[in-house]
Amino acid sequence: MGGSQPQGDHYGMARFSKVVFALSAASAITSSAQTFTTLASFSTSAGYQPNASLVQGVNGNLFGTTEYSDESNGGLGTVFEITPAGTLGTLGSFDYSDGADPQAGPVQANNADLYGTASTGGANSAGTVFQISPSGTLTALYSFCSVISSAGRCADGLSPNAPLIQATNGNFYGTTNSGGTARVSVARSLRLPRRVC
């Protein structure tokens, strides 16, 4: 299951069936009665092939990513928002400069923005760390393969495909699928930019 609410509802996605679902338990301790509900089904216009976990935002809605979208949305994936009642919308679409083909779901930071990784795209075609505001402004914060080692390798890693975590110090931590000086995964930290209020 991707995420949960205190009431006992659990949310998840079925990758190839393009469905977001909810599984409600009447009572986790006293009853085994459960209801399976399809909240929304994806179409190519809203993005398709959701393949990562969901996060429930402070507004109560669920957020996630799709690996692909139709050409009218750039074809490179989306960040979507869905209400618990099942209204599905595209919060933002990737355009390669800010990333493409996200493989992991976003996390909501202390500042209410969503942050995540895209496995390709960005300035060096090696993936990005992205930020998307609640209004849908999508920005690449970091492009991987920006640091080249003396051996000509991406010293800072490439192809991130795991979710970020935010530590109590406010920094984000994550890993890349490959790269580094030994051509293996790289663990990275990223400090949030200071926001001017």
d(CA 77, CA 179): 23
Domains and CATH numbers, the chain: 3-190 (2.120.10.30)
Q: Strand pairing of 138-143 and 165-166?
A: unpaired
Provide mean pLDDT across the span 14-38: 54
DSSP 99: B
Proportion of the chain above pLDDT 70, given as a percent: 71
pTM of the model: 0.81
Whether residue 16 has pLDDT greater than 60 = no
Residue 150 binned pLDDT confidence (cut-offs 50, 70, 90): confident
The predicted pLDDT at position 57 comes to 93
Q: 10 or 79: whose pLDDT is higher?
A: 79
| 81 CB neighbour count, 10 Å cutoff | 21
What is the mean pLDDT of the segment spanning 33-56? Answer: 77
User: pLDDT category, 123, cuts 50, 70, 90?
Assistant: very high
Is the confidence at residue 40, as pLDDT, over 60? yes
Is the separation of the CB atoms in 80 and 41 below 8 Å? no
**95-99, 123-127, 151-155: least confident range:** 151-155
**Across 75-180, where does the E strand assignment appear?**
78-82, 88-93, 107-108, 114-118, 128-132, 138-143, 165-166, 172-175
Top-confidence residue, 176 or 139: 139
